[in-house]
């Protein structure tokens, strides 16, 4: 029941932002509001549980990617850059904006996660440089490009106007970050 409540809460959050009501959720689940309040003391408590599950899922994924023996360095980097919540599903750009604005303490947890993920990304990039798979560059600039891209891709208008899902946009951005603009055939240095 708890998983079902959190999953439906996320669906409502993605649809209505964090302004959904417990009555909306109860109707969606076909249960009484009391049934939900038996598990969560408030709507904020429920939202926090949803967000904590998403973060926990992401942290597990990151560790699995980093520790994977099956993935090479490039695949690990790509997987780290594109990791998204699987347990309950992704957050819409609308929810992210709501969380940043209305639940800053929860958003701080996401910021902490992004910082920890960046440290893992940096380690993989440094390994790729040692293996001569990547060239050396200013890591601060790459981090700024990545974070700026993520923030811009969260924009609801961009996603709807370009008919993209956030996950597809992230995958395209990651491909450009890793492989650049040069076609595969043209990647030999010119003399």
Averaged pLDDT in 10-residue chunks for the chain of 191 residues: 90 89 94 94 94 92 95 94 81 83 91 90 93 90 88 74 81 87 59 45
- pLDDT of amino acid 28: 92
Cα 135–chain centre separation: 27
Strands (DSSP E) contained in 20-155 are: none
On whether the CB atoms of residues 125 and 142 are closer than 8 A, the answer is yes
- pLDDT of amino acid 184: 60
Handedness of CA 135, 77, 121, 177 (dihedral sign): positive
On whether the CB atoms of residues 29 and 4 are closer than 8 A, the answer is yes
- pLDDT of amino acid 191: 45
- pLDDT of amino acid 49: 94
- pLDDT of amino acid 190: 46
- pLDDT of amino acid 58: 92
- pLDDT of amino acid 188: 55
- pLDDT of amino acid 95: 85
């Amino acid at each position: 029941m708890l998983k079902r409540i959190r999953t439906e809460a996320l669906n409502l959050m993605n649809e209505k932002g964090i302004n959904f009501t417990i009555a909306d959720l109860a109707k969606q689940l076909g249960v009484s509001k009391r049934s939900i309040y038996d598990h969560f003391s408030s709507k904020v408590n429920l939202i926090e549980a949803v967000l904590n599950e998403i973060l926990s899922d992401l942290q597990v994924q990151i560790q699995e990617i980093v520790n994977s023996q099956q993935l090479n360095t490039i695949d690990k980097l790509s997987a780290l850059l594109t990791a998204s919540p699987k347990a309950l599903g992704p957050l819409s750009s609308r929810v992210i904006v709501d969380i940043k604005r209305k639940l800053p303490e929860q958003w701080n947890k996401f910021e902490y996660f992004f910082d920890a993920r960046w440290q893992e990304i940096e380690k993989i990039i440094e390994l790729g440089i040692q293996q001569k798979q990547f060239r050396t560059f200013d890591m601060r600039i790459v981090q700024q490009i990545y974070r700026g891209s993520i923030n811009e891709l969260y924009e609801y208008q961009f996603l709807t106007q370009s008919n993209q899902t956030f996950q597809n946009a992230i995958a395209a951005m990651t491909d450009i970050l890793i492989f650049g603009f040069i076609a595969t055939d043209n990647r030999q240095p010119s003399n």
